[in-house]
Amino acid sequence: MDSAEEKLPPTSAIPDAPDPASPASKTSPAGSLTAHSLRNEIRVWTRDLLIAIGLALVIIVFLYQPVKVEGTSMAPLLSDQERIFINKFVYRFEPIERGDVVVFWYPLDRTKSFIKRVVGLPGEVVEIRQGIVYVGSAPLAEPYVPPQYEDLSDFGPVRVARDSYFVMGDHRISSNDSRVFGAVPSRFIYGRAVFAYWPVDHFGSLSATSTTEAKTK
């Protein structure tokens, strides 16, 4: 008697038709497409990241300048050997204002840079009586000068020349400023202190108010 197996048609002679609904027929092209899309996305992200880094470097190099503070004339806002960034172009678009912490070429020796706080504006009359700064007849509020740093001596009155600025250090008893070398012409002022980055406990934005000797890196 023949076995059942022998009466079945040989299965190897009839190829199976591909099932269009089978997972294998769908996943290969889709998987290839997904990998291609992922590569494109990575390229786009890499390109955008490099552009962002490039723009950041341009901004830092051309708009900001690192400066090292030397001396204590701007204490307590700035300390000796502190590192800060100054904005070199801000005064091309904005006026110099009272309270700004500015970096300028020392009028008596332009190989040196100083950093001080603007106290008097062009045309104003500045006078110091027993340590209190008067602009015109009004006393100037200076919360950035601690009592232990006050200089109780008198000065002036003097009128600030046109297009010049009267600058002082916050540490009044140890500051070489406009009381010594006079008002600073605006053409000597080349930046405003904007950000401290070292030491880390001083990391952060600087308010518009200060004075200390600075040395460019």
Instruction: Give domain status of residue 159, yes or no.
Output: yes
User: Is 73 tagged catalytic?
Assistant: yes
CATH, residue 151: 2.10.109.10
pLDDT of residue 52: 84
pLDDT of residue 24: 46
* Range 166-174 average pLDDT: 96
Domain count along the chain: 1
Q: Which of 12, 32, 116, 153 is catalytic?
A: 116
**Residue-range definition of the domain harbouring residue 115:** 65-216
Phi, psi of 149, rounded to the nearest 5 degrees: -105, 5
Q: Which amino acid, one-letter code, is at 122? A: P
DSSP annotation of 31: H
Instruction: Give domain status of residue 128, yes or no.
Output: yes
* Range 103-132 average pLDDT: 95
User: Is 32 tagged catalytic?
Assistant: no
Nearest Cα to 127, choosing from 119, 135, 115? 135
Q: In this model, does residue 212 exceed pLDDT 50?
A: no
Instruction: Give domain status of residue 151, yes or no.
Output: yes
pTM (2 d.p.): 0.71
pLDDT of residue 48: 82
Q: Which amino acid, one-letter code, is at 172? A: R
pLDDT of residue 61: 67
**Strand 211-216 versus strand 101-105 pairing type:** unpaired
The token pair that represents 12 in the structure block: 């190897």
Instruction: Give domain status of residue 77, yes or no.
Output: yes
- Cβ-based neighbours of 153, under 8 Å, separated by 6 or more: 128, 130, 131
Instruction: Give domain status of residue 8, yes or no.
Output: no
Instruction: Give domain status of residue 27, yes or no.
Output: no
pLDDT of residue 50: 86
Q: Which of 73, 164, 178, 210 is catalytic?
A: 73
Most confident of 38-47, 60-69, 109-118: 109-118
pLDDT of residue 11: 45
DSSP annotation of 72: S
Instruction: Give domain status of residue 15, yes or no.
Output: no
pLDDT digits (tens, 9 = 90+) for 62-101: 788 889 999 999 999 999 999 999 999 899 899 999 999 9
pLDDT of residue 18: 52
Q: In this model, does residue 115 exceed pLDDT 90?
A: yes
pLDDT digits (tens, 9 = 90+) for 147-166: 999 999 999 899 999 999 99
- Cβ-based neighbours of 189, under 8 Å, separated by 6 or more: 91, 96, 102, 103, 104, 165
